[in-house]
Structure 1
Amino acid sequence: MALKKSDLYSSLWKSCDELRGGMDASQYKDYILTLLFVKYVSDKAKANSKSLTRVPQGGSFDDMLKARGNKEIGDKFNKIIAKLADANGLRNVIDLADFNDPEKLGKGQEMVDRLTKLVSIFEGLDFRGSRAEGDDLLGDAYEYLMRHFATESGKSKGQFYTPAEVSRILAKVVGINKTTRADQTVYDPTCGSGSLLLKVADEAPRGITIYGQEKDNATWALSKMNMWLHGNEDAEIEKGDTITSPQFTKGAELRTFDFAVANPPFSVKSWNSGLDKDYGRFEYGMPPEKNGDYAFLLHVLKSLKSTGKAAVILPHGVLFRGHAEADIRRNLLKRGFIKGIIGLPPNLFYGTGIPACIVVLDKENAAGRTGVFMIDASKGFMKDGPKNRLRAQDIHKIVDTFNKQIEIDRYSRMVPLKEIADAKNGFNLNIPRYIDSSEPEDIQDLHAHLHGGIPDRDLDALDEYWKAFPSLRSTLFTENRPGYSDLVIDIADVQQAVLESPKFKKFAAKVDDIVDEWFAAHRTRLANINEDTKPAELIGEISEDLLTRFKSVPLLDEYDVYEQLMSYWNETTMHDDVFMIMNDGWLGAAKPRKTIEDKERKLSEAPDLIIGSGRNAAKYKMDLIPPSLMVSTYYYETQDQINELTAEVEAAAQAIEEYVEEHAVEDGVLAGAVDDDKITKALAATRLRVAKREKSDPDEIKALEHLIKLYDAEAAAKKAVKDLQAELDMTVLKEYGKLTEDDVKFLVLDEKWHATIKSRIAGEVTSLTYDLVARIQQLGKRYAQTVGALDSELAELDAKVAAHLAAMGVKP
């Protein structure tokens, strides 16, 4: 039975992290990703004898496994990797990490133990067959590791990785799509580990020809490995400094490409050190000596064909800095090369915390370009540990808005070149000059404070709600005087009035109906998930359809709805389910399994169901169908009984607490049974025996007997709960063995996926309603009393104070 993908990756990372010792993450990644490479190509060669990668005898992952525990394990690993490298022309690519380095991996037995454990971790990964390709287990594992290595490496060493979310935006806005031909080219002059180029390749299902250059030797090797891992063995990845030593040249000119993407290092101060040939890159101006941002942008521009397109990540300073950079910016704008600017949130990147932007270049029809399309996407993100991260909805909204050139208030607009070039702006591209993304000021109305009533202007601002819930405004408000209205119900009753409004109920029901219709349209495809399913295509298709269905629904943002589905998928719940079904089938994935206690992989699972107690207890995990889902579907009546008995336990405990609190006070009838401010059943029983033997106060004896009865009632209720729960647990466990494939599909598709997604989207409706309620209550409280009424109240209070002072003999 397959382990959940999320557990697989988390255990992989925890194990790797545990074994790295004092080594920096930026170095340790070279060892981990080399092992990942060897494991992957070895598995693929087993599954496909025609694999492009040749795995020679003595050069496979299995040979590494045979070396476990050997005192010369480090040297053996190096030799195995060298054989694999020689067989595939990968010398100085996959063999850069020295597995026999005692300074990094420990000396003697420490190295043996560390490498033995490390290679054992990867033994659990299986990249054979169509399942790995369809689910992209490798790609996800690589992405997971790279994100963690980049996070751990810190600002100075995390630049080898461009966050996948940002990479997807560049790939989608640069113009690569399903129509892109395999012979078209894409180039990244600062390709790092190659993750950005691979995201671009994902957007071209027919293929695309890849070129890249990377300055750092270890990162260049990583990029080469990455290309092989993802089936792009033919990609040309060269080594060297792109500015001073570009590798893709044609005589005295740079080679040109159809597309280019780049995430160059920000504001490099020594960019021109050793520069002796400019290849015509600086015809529009020479970048300042101590800032290389425009050097990279101009290099990308020169590397484009006459119809070429590019997307480059740069710091915001390139949009507004003056002097030499201002001259370059002016020249590029005048020639129409800059198609668009996308402002991103701060703290997205691993090399820096400053906000960045995407500059989109397009040479095609540049001469006729009359404006620059700008997006301020700086506010759309989520917190993810020490970094910010773009959500699925943020990515989709940016891409849709840019590619369709949609103007959205406070988010995007097409800015005419005339406006950019006028005296006020002077070719400054700072986004806030053209898009005011701040929230409108909440203006206080002095006339309303003086004379009462809520300004209609504030109510008109809620027009989206009134369109979604027709007649609700007239239900809640009545005219006070021209331009002002009164709230006709008490402020405390606003929420109930909105939620019980027939129009709100109709709207909520409509949303539910859309979700039901959407799920019904895709249920058959979901029910046919098998080992050949491609999860990325599956979620892509159904999520796009969901978003499309909600575009015409008023008030509700279709991207918020889309995010509910995508977060359910990306939080691994639904993704994990699909992964397990692909690997084990519907029935296999639904079978209970014993919990894993794996010290080697640092994996300890919390059980979903425990049968028995003590050492003989059997602990089970139900990954696909949790016991709670079985109970809520088939045994809800028994669960109701358990809930009732649990309530009896709580009532019995409360009765004990109240009785003790009443009679265990000083001089109370139970004071003699108190020990350390407590009276347990054992203490009460002991005291009762003593009291009867000594013929103590009859009231005390009676109170102790009553208290023991209360304890007995609590114990009986607890036992009833325990027995019934144990009976239910055993029944549920047996029920798993009776499930048919149709039963499993019903539980997973309808009771789990459909129900959860529907509930999440319904929560969006409720959340919007709470926003409306909060605003109405705020306005109601703000203008509830006029200044005149407050003056009258103040005068009354002054009179009362004066009267009290007079009664006390104090003269004003």
Structure 2
Amino acid sequence: MALKKSDLYSSLWKSCDELRGGMDASQYKDYILTLLFVKYVTDKAKAEPDALIEVPPRGSFDDIVALKGDKEIGDKINKIIARLAEANQLVTVFDAANFNDEEKLGKGQEMQDRLSKLVAIFADLDFRGSRAGGDDLLGDAYEYLMRHFATESGKSKGQFYTPAEVSRVLAKIVGIGPDTAQDDTVYDPTCGSGSLLLKVAEEAPRGISIYGQEKDNATWALAKMNMILHSNEDAGIYKGDTITSPHFTNGDRLDTFDFAVANPPFSIKSWSNGLENDYGRFEFGRPPEKNGDYAFLLHILKSLKSNGKAAVILPHGVLFRANAEAVIRKELLRRGYIKGIIGLPANLFYGTGIPACIVVLDKENAQARTGVFMIDASKGFIKDGNKNRLRNQDIHKVVDVFNKRTEVERYSRMVPLHEIADPKNDYNLNIPRYIDSSEPEDIQDLGAHLRGGIPNRDLDALNRYWGAFPSLRGTLFKPNRPGYSDLAVDVGEVQQTILDFDEFQKFAAEVRGQVASWFADHRPILQALNADTVPKNLISHISEDLLARFKDTPLLDEYDVYEQLMTYWHGVMHDDVFLVMNEGWRDAAMPRQAIEDKERKLSESPDLVVGSGRKAVKYKMDLIPPALVIARYFTDEQAEVNRLNTVVEEASRAVEEYTEEHVVEDGLLAEAMDDGKISKALATAQLKVARHEKADPEEIEALQHVVKLYNEEAQAKKTAKEAQAALDLAILKKYGDLNLPDIKQLVLDDKWAATLRDRITSEANALTLDLVARIQELGERYAETVETLDAELEKLESKIAGHLADMGVV
């Protein structure tokens, strides 16, 4: 059985990382990604005889595998890779890593062992699930490894990779979609490893022509390999400095493209070194010599056709810096080239921790443009290790709001050009000037502190709750005086009152019903999963429908609901779909033995263990965890095991309590102690001695009782263990008895539908907890007036004065 997709990638990374030793991640990636690439082209040549990549004799991954244990393995790998590179005019693309480098890989036996183990990792991986119409496993594995190497490489070496989440945003807002023609072109002048271009290409189902340029030789090689791994062998990826030596030129003019995307190096100081021809790029002004941000932006603008569109990641400074950049910015705005600005969270990128923005350029109808659409998306992210990461809901919300030009309070706004041009702003595009994303200030009410009551304006601020539950406000509050209310229930009873409230119960039921209806409508396509399923199309279809269904649900944010599905998809469902596609429903559902590879330090935690000791067999149930089988078929047996475990706990507690009572100094069991404790063996031995010596009857009775308790505990454990073993065996047998409808019911209804229902319902429950917290905060804030506090203070002062008087202190 094939590993789950997530396990495939994580085991690949873990295995490679184990063999890295002290080598820097930025260097080690060349070895790993080269081997992955050679395996890919070898496997592809076997499956597709007409593949564009030719694998020559003695130039395949199989030839590398044959070298395991060879004393000259490093030198021979170099020669095999060289043959493959020469046969495909890819010299210097993937043959840069020296597999015979003793400084990096060790000498003699050390190099032989390290490379042999490294080759074995890739030889053992099963990438047969890679399908033209489904998931591209090798390509995705390449992306996965690059992301990890970017993380490990730190700020100085991580710039070759744009986070996939940010790439998805650019791809979806630049204007590429189902209607994009195959002969349309997309260009990235600083393409890095090509991941951004590939994400854009995914948005064009009919295909799109890809062009890019990259200055760094090693990173350019990564991009070339990345294109081939993602079946874009004909992409035009070239080496060179885009600013000083642009590749795409026609005489003194730049070639132009339909679309452009870029994540150029931020604020580079040496951008103009060697610049001889500006190709008319700086007609609106020359960027500062020590800052190249606008050099890249103007290059991209000049590289667009008359109706071209671009999305560029830049530091926030381009929005507000003065002098030469202010002049350029003003000219771009006056000509209507800047369509939108999107502010991103800080610490998203591997090369820097500063926040960045996306500048969207659009030449089409630029002169008629009357405003700039701005989004402040700086608060939408999740912590992921030492970086921040956009969630699925953050990506979708940005894309939806930008593409539909939806104005959302404290989030997005169409800013008129006349406002930007106003002297007080003077073409400054700093987003906080136009969008106040700060939360409203929680104002303390002096009148409420003096006279009591909760200000009605604080309750009015909760109107979205009162709209969803019209009678709830009247249940929780009663009038105090004009403009103020009191809690009608004790502050500690607020949560239960809300949870028990009919309108909330109805709301929660409706949420569950919406989820059930949505899942029922999509169940037919889910149960029809097969080898031809396209996972990305499947999740796109069902997730967009879920989003649409919850759009008008009061209180619930449809993007929070969407995130619950997408998080579960990436964490569980995608692996399940992958297994069903590759194994079929029945084989995917069957138990497999857990992997234990001591040499590669891989050990899976088993889901079920049958037998004990050396005869124990450990099983993994990837698609259907044992808990689902138990819940549907063995509830009585599990209840009995639980009861027996409770008996064990009670028996153990009885032993503990009795021994603790009597092992104290001078206690009845004191003489049977060893290091302050008493075991069954000690108690039994001491009982034998006590009987022989005719000791105190109470001591004999105590020893007899503790032995009895230990025996009862042992018997309880034995019974519970036997019951568990019998249940485990029955569960294992049940898997073999499951038919296809049983399997689909367990996966679709008991696993996917039930989990998603619970996750989405938890969003509704979380909303009530927010409401409860706010009401409790307000209730406690104004519970005691200044008058009551003064009275309490006077009472305490009087009490202290009395105590002092009693002590004779005046």
> For the Cα contact (< 8 Å) 1:132–1:138, is it kept in 2?
no
User: Residue 779 of structure 2 aligns with which residue?
Assistant: 780
Aligned to 1:569: 569
Hey, what's the Cα distance between the residues in 1 that align with 2:77 and 2:170? 38
SS at structure 2 position matched to 1:684: helix
Deviation per residue, 1:615-655 (Å, 9 max, x gap): 11111111111112211221111111111121222222222
Structure 1 counterpart of 2:735, one-letter code? Y
Distance apart, 1:803 and its partner CA: 2.0
Contact 1:450–1:787 (CA<8 Å) still a contact in 2? Answer: yes
Distance 1:71 1:809 in 2: 98
Q: Equivalent residue for 1:102?
A: 102
Per-residue CA distance 1:506-547 (angstroms, 9 max, x = gap): 101001001101111111111111111111111111111111
Counterpart of 1:98, as a letter, is N
**TM-score of the superposition, structure 1-length normalised?**
0.98
Question: Relative to structure 2, which stretch is displaced further, 744-753 or 68-77?
Answer: 68-77
The alignment partner of 1:282 has SS state of: coil
Shift of 1:430: 1.1
What does the per-residue CA deviation read over 1:202-254, in whole Å, with 9 as the maximum and x for residues that have no partner? Answer: 00001111110000111111111111111111111111000000010111111
Deviation per CA, 1:324-371: give whole Å up to 9, x if none. 111111111111111111111111111111111111011111111111
Unaligned runs of 5+ in 2: none
Stretch of structure 1 that moved more, 12-21 or 782-791: 12-21
Alignment of 1:307-326 (within 5 A): 307-326=307-326
Q: Secondary structure at the match of 1:340?
A: strand
C-alpha contact 2:608 2:618 (8 A) present in aligned 1: yes
Distance in 2, Cα, partners of 1:306 & 1:768: 49
Q: Does 1:713 align with 2:712?
A: yes
Most deviating of 590-599 and 252-261:
590-599
Kindly tell me the number of residue pairs found equivalent between the two proteins: 810
Cα-Cα RMSD: 1.4
C-alpha deviation, 1:454, in angstroms: 0.5
Partner residue in 2 for 1:643 = 642
Structure 1 match to 2:8: 8
Does 1:554 find its partner at 2:539? no
CA deviation after TM superposition for structure 1 residue 675, in Å: 2.3
1:752 and 2:756 matched = no
The answer to whether the 8 Å contact 2:129/2:137 transfers is no
Shift of 1:731: 0.5
Return the letter of the residue paired with 1:38.
V
Task: Measure how far apart 1:128 and its partner are.
Answer: 4.6
Offset of 1:127 from its aligned partner?
4.1
* Partner secondary structure for residue 135 of structure 1: coil
The equivalences for 1:361-376 within 5 A come to: 361-376=361-376
Distance 2:597 2:417 in 1: 63
What is the rounded CA distance, in whole Å, between the counterparts of 1:661 and 1:458 in structure 2?
56
For the Cα contact (< 8 Å) 2:130–2:138, is it kept in 1? no
Which shows bigger deviation, 354-363 or 21-30? Answer: 21-30
Q: CA deviation at 1:659?
A: 2.2
Shift of 1:320: 1.2
1:494 aligns with 2:510: no
Distance in 1 between residues matched to 2:494 and 2:241, nearest whole Å = 65
Output aligned runs, 1:125-524, within 5 Å. Answer: 125-128=125-128, 131=131, 133-524=133-524
Partner-residue secondary structure (3-state), 1:268: coil
Matched with 2:802 is 803
| Contact 2:180-2:206 within 8 A present in 1 as well | yes
Counterpart in the other structure of 2:44: 44
How far apart, in 2, do the equivalents of 1:600 and 1:143 lie? 26
Distance in 1 (CA, whole Å) between partners of 2:542 and 2:332 is 41
Q: Give the SS at the match of 1:677.
A: coil
Structure 1 residue identity aligned to 2:808: G
Determine the C-alpha separation between the residues in 2 that align with 1:629 and 1:612.
Answer: 21
Shift of 1:436: 1.3
The aligned amino acid for 2:673 is V
Aligned to 1:85: 85
Secondary structure in 1 matching 2:619: strand
Task: Note the C-alpha offset of 1:445.
Answer: 0.5
Q: Are the counterparts in 1 of residues 212 and 238 from structure 2 also a CA contact under 8 Å? A: yes
Give the CA deviation at 1:192.
0.6
Amino acid at match of 2:637: T
AA partner of residue 764 (structure 1):
E
Q: Structure 1 residues 738, 616: closer, same or farther in 2, change over 3 A?
A: same
Provide the rounded CA distance (Å) in 1 between the counterparts of 2:654 and 2:75: 72
Matches within 5 A, 1:610-689: 610-689=609-688
- Within the alignment, does 1:115 sit opposite 2:115 as a pair? yes
What secondary structure sits across from 1:134 in the alignment?
Answer: coil
Classify 1:487/1:210 alpha carbon distance in 2 versus 1 (closer, same or farther; 3 Å).
same
Partner of 1:585: 584
Partner of 2:158, secondary structure, is: coil
The AA in structure 2 aligned to 1:779 is L
Q: CA deviation at 1:14?
A: 1.3
| 1:600 Cα deviation from its structure 2 partner | 4.3
Q: 1:602 aligns to what? A: 601
Spell out, residue by residue over 1:275-296, the C-alpha distance to the aligned partner (whole angstroms, 9 max, x if none).
0110111111111111101100
Code of the residue aligned with 2:298 in structure 1: it is: L
Q: Offset at 1:671?
A: 2.4
Q: In the alignment, residue 33 of structure 1 is paired with which amino acid?
A: L
| CA deviation vs aligned residue, 1:42-69 (integer Å, no higher than 9, x gap) | 1111112222222222221111112222
Retained in 2: the 8 A contact 1:44–1:128?
A: no
Q: Which moved more, 1:120-129 or 1:366-375?
A: 120-129
Query: Take 1:755 and 1:697, find their aligned partners in 2: how far apart are those partners?
Result: 63
Larger CA deviation: 772-781 vs 83-92: 83-92
Question: 1:758 and 1:306 mapped to 2: Cα distance?
Answer: 49
| Shift of residue 133, structure 1, vs aligned partner | 4.8
Shift of 1:700: 1.8
User: How much does 1:665 deviate?
Assistant: 2.6
Residues 216 and 240 in structure 1, CA contact (< 8 A), matched pair in contact too: yes
Match of 1:736 in 2: 735
Deviation at 1:708, TM superposition (A): 2.0
Q: Is the 8 A contact 1:227 1:233 kept in 2?
A: yes
Distance (Å, rounded) in 1 between the aligned partners of 2:766 and 2:449: 30
Of 509-518 and 89-98, deviating more is 89-98
Q: How high is the TM-score relative to the length of structure 2?
A: 0.98
Verify the 8 A CA contact 1:11 1:602 in the aligned structure 2: no
Cα offset, 1:500, TM superposition: 0.8
Q: Secondary structure at the match of 1:424?
A: coil
Residue identity (%): 72
